[in-house]
């Protein structure tokens, strides 16, 4: 028998809505043929695919990162503004393709406004310079009568875009990055870029590249960066892509430990360096690229190769991948005190919850847990105790079969419990109880599941995996619930 015990007063941090963010990169069919397809009958007058917009609206992403990714490290933002017919086509050095620049800053801002999402721009700290980065901030946010502000106005945007979140570079710790930098080089570059960008707009929030190349020089990187620039860093960015590389379900399901380890290690480093350097403001973690990515993962045959170019990134997800989505979101909620932003990578087609064709789209398995958590998540994370069945996988033994997180919605007086049952075959009968307070009526259960762990949603059969809803009753201090094998469940419980 499994037990989940919750003390409603044992809170562990405010859940930032920004953990339900997304990421859109100029990469294969994410922008062109995904978000933006002006010749499609499915697109609006601005070239945005309306079916994609409608699907994305359901995910309620509060923030979207753009334009890369690796792409940004050779991107010239000026190429993507002004009359479309005058925009230059360039070779994108990250992915070795031609970038037409038909979609750029203003199109992206418009796209974000359609989704009611905050834009989060990353500047080129690869082959780009500080002046270019500052100019972009000024073009977007400036209000004085400067040449760049007049240019934005000429492009039809009288009011500033007010872009609040700015990342400086991308995966600068990876040898594949155009403009890879050592810990020393990046700490210095970030400090100078950040200082100058803040002089253009003091109110912007800065995101520094932390770690994407695991394991590597994590300690040195974070330490140097925070020592030199801690006073202007608001977020430290981490990237995590995972996959079932060995086709071993049990091993795959232990990835909860990897998320735990990475988040705990970086939290500890931030705390230690902040203490040593008297950094008084909180530096949050932004997991600003995360997802399952392995079926189309680049196979670099030549170990000396510095390229990292995937096929087309069009992963077709199955149910076990959707369980990982639940596991990752549980870890962000459990670390709500430090993880204040996370961006599902990417939005459309390229390892994405949505796959398009010219005539429509399919919602992939991972769409459903993301939509469920985003829609139901409360504002306060709870520190949950749970125990019960365990399993072994990969290098681990004694991993709890259930993976759990919980939040509180104080206004609605609801406890929202998220549970991933990682057993492939067994239902998990569980007692859910409160230390104090009581369940007071309805428990609304939303279950993401499908016929088996390899079930996929395709254009032919688009609904093998989806969400089923039901309502049960719970009164008093505890109730029993049976979690289905290979499922992600949200229990929304009325409490008093
Ligand atoms: O999302 C695809 C790529 O993965 C991004 O460009 C890069 O940041 C990461 O390596």
Q: How far apart are CA 247 and CA 94, in angstroms?
A: 29
CA 379 to chain centre: 18
Provide the pLDDT for residue 312.
Answer: 86
User: pLDDT at position 216, please?
Assistant: 86
List pLDDT tens digits, range 319-347: 999 999 999 999 999 999 999 999 999 99
pLDDT, mean of residues 272-286:
97
Domain boundary, last residue among 355, 378, 401: 378
CA distance 44 to 59: 20
CATH classification at residue 461:
2.60.40.1180
CA distance 461 to 254: 29
Whether 332 and 271 share a structural domain:
yes
Clarify whether residues 188 and 313 are in a common domain.
Answer: yes
* Separation of alpha carbons 396 and 209, rounded Å: 30
Q: How many DSSP H helices and E strands does the chain contain?
A: 10, 25
Closest CA to 423 of 398, 453, 451, 384: 453
Confidence of residue 96 (pLDDT cuts 50, 70, 90): confident
On whether the CB atoms of residues 198 and 156 are closer than 8 A, the answer is no
User: Is there a single domain that holds both residue 368 and residue 390?
Assistant: no
Query: At 71, is the pLDDT very low, low, confident or very high (cuts 50, 70, 90)?
Result: very high
Q: Is the CB–ligand 1 distance for residue 25 below 6 Å?
A: yes
Q: Whose CA is nearest to atom 7 of ligand 1?
A: 69
Element of type H or E holding 268: helix 255-276
Residue with CA nearest ligand 1 atom 9: 69
| Residue to substitute in 30, 34, 70 for testing ligand 1 pocket (most ligand atoms within 8 angstroms of CB) | 70
220 pLDDT more than 50 = yes
Q: How far apart are alpha carbons 269 and 319 in whole angstroms? A: 35
Ligand 1 and 194: CB distance under 6 A: no
Nearest to 368 by CA among 326, 330, 336: 326
Let me know if 70 is exposed, middle or buried by CB neighbors in 10 A (0-12, 13-18, 19+). Answer: buried
How far, in Å, is the centroid of ligand 1 from the Cα of 360? 26
pLDDT for the residue numbered 95: 86
Instruction: Give me the catalytic one of 99, 138, 267, 289.
Output: 289
What pLDDT is attached to residue 303?
Answer: 47
Catalytic residue among 37, 138, 171, 456: 171
Question: What is the structure's pLDDT at 311?
Answer: 73
The answer to whether residue 315 is catalytic is no
Could you identify the atom of ligand 1 that is nearest to the CA of residue 176? Answer: 10
- Residues 452-470 have a mean pLDDT of 98
What's the chain's Rg over C-alpha atoms?
23
> Across residues 242-270, what is the average pLDDT?
98
**Same-domain status, 373 and 441:** no
Is the CB–ligand 1 distance for residue 138 below 6 Å? no
Residue 370 shares a structural domain with residue 409:
no
* Residues 6+ positions from 403 with CB-CB distance below 8 Å: 256, 326, 327, 330, 419, 420, 422
pLDDT of residue 304: 47
Q: Last residue of a domain, which of 378, 408, 439?
A: 378
Residue 69 near ligand 1, beta carbon < 6 Å:
yes
64 pLDDT more than 80: yes
In this structure, the answer to whether residues 287 and 389 fall within a common structural domain is no
Tell whether 374 and 388 lie within a shared domain.
Answer: no
Q: Which atom of ligand 1 is nearest to the CA of 69?
A: 6
Query: To test ligand 1's pocket by mutation, which of 239, 243, 295 has the most ligand atoms within 8 angstroms of CB?
Result: 239
- Domain match, 276 and 387 both: no
Kindly give the distance from the C-alpha atom of residue 354 to the centroid of ligand 1, in angstroms, as a whole number: 18
70 close to ligand 1 (CB < 6 Angstrom): yes
Q: How far apart are CA 176 and CA 299, in angstroms?
A: 13
The rounded Å distance from CA 449 to ligand 1 centre is 29
Same domain, 442 and 299: no
Please identify, by atom number, the ligand 1 atom nearest to the C-alpha of residue 212.
10
Mean pLDDT over the full length of the chain: 96
pTM, full prediction: 0.97
DSSP assigned state of 178: T
Residue 297: its pLDDT value, please? Answer: 75
Query: Does a cis peptide bond (omega within 30 degrees of 0) precede residue 67?
Result: yes
- Ligand 1: does its nearest atom lie under 6 Å from the Cβ of 403? no
Q: What is the pLDDT of residues 282-316, one digit of tens each?
A: 999 999 999 999 998 765 544 444 455 557 899 99
Query: The domain spanning residue 233 has which CATH number?
Result: 3.20.20.80
**Token pair 């925009």 is at which residue?**
87
Over residues 151-200, the pLDDT tens digits come to 999 999 999 999 999 999 999 999 999 999 999 999 999 999 999 999 99
Q: Residue with the nearest Cα to atom 5 of ligand 1?
A: 69
Does the beta carbon of 223 lie inside 6 Å of ligand 1? no
Q: Looking at 330, 354, 378, which one is the last position of a domain? A: 378
- Within 8 A by CB and 6+ apart from 363, the residues are 55, 353, 354, 457, 462
In this structure, the answer to whether residues 166 and 46 fall within a common structural domain is yes
Overall average pLDDT of the 417-445 stretch: 97
- CA of residue 70 to ligand 1 center, whole Å: 5
157 in the same domain as 67: yes
- 471 has which bridge partners? 444
Catalytic: 107? no
Query: How many domains does one find in the chain?
Result: 2
Task: Specify whether 397 is located in the same domain as 373.
Answer: no
Nearest residue to 240 via CA among 377, 332, 360: 332
Domain span at residue 343 reads: 16-378
């Amino acid at each position: 028998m499994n037990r989940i015990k919750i003390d409603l007063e044992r809170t562990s941090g405010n859940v930032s809505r920004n953990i339900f963010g997304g990421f859109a990169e100029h990469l294969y069919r994410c922008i062109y043929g995904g978000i933006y397809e002006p010749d499609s009958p499915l697109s609006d007058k601005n070239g945005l695919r309306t079916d994609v917009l409608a699907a994305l609206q359901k995910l309620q992403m509060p923030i979207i990162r753009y334009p890369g990714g690796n792409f940004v490290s050779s991107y010239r933002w000026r190429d993507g503004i002004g009359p479309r017919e005058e925009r230059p086509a360039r070779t994108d050095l990250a992915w070795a393709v031609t970038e037409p620049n038909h979609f750029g800053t203003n199109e992206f801002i418009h796209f974000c406004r359609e989704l009611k999402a905050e834009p989060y721009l990353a500047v080129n700290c690869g082959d780009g310079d500080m002046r270019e980065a500052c100019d972009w901030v000024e073009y977007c946010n400036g209000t004085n009568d400067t040449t760049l502000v007049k240019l934005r106005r000429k492009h039809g945007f009288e009011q500033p875009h007010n872009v609040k979140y700015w990342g400086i570079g991308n995966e600068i710790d990876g040898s594949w990055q155009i403009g890879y930098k050592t810990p020393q080089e990046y700490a210095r570059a970030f400090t100078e870029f950040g200082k100058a960008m803040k002089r253009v707009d003091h109110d912007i929030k800065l995101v520094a590249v932390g770690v994407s190349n695991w394991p590597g020089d994590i300690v040195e990187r974070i330490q140097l960066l925070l020592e030199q620039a801690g006073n202007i860093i608001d977020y430290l960015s981490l990237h995590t892509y995972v996959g079932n590389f060995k086709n071993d379900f049990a091993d795959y399901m232990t990835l909860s430990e990897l998320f735990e380890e990475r988040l705990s290690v970086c939290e500890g480093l931030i705390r230690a360096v902040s203490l040593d350097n008297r950094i008084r403001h909180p530096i949050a973690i932004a997991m600003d690229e995360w997802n399952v990515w392995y079926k189309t993962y680049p196979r670099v045959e030549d170990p000396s190769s510095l390229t990292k170019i995937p096929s087309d990134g069009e992963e077709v997800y199955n149910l076990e991948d959707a369980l990982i989505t639940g596991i990752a979101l549980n870890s962000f909620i459990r670390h709500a005190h430090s993880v204040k932003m996370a961006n599902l990578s990417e939005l459309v087609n390229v390892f994405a919850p949505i796959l398009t064709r010219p005539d429509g789209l399919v919602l992939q398995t991972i769409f459903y847990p993301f939509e469920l958590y985003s829609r139901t998540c409360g504002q306060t994370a709870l520190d949950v105790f749970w125990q019960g069945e365990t399993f072994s996988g990969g290098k681990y033994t004694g991993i709890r079969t259930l993976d759990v997180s919980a939040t509180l919605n104080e206004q609605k007086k609801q406890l929202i419990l998220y549970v991933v049952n990682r057993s492939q075959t067994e239902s998990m009968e569980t007692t859910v109880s409160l230390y104090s307070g009581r369940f007071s009526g309805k428990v609304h259960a939303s279950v993401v599941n499908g016929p088996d762990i390899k079930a996929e949603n395709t254009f032919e059969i688009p609904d093998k995996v989806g969400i089923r809803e039901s309502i049960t009753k719970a009164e008093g201090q505890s109730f029993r619930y049976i979690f289905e094998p290979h499922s992600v469940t949200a229990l929304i419980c009325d409490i008093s």
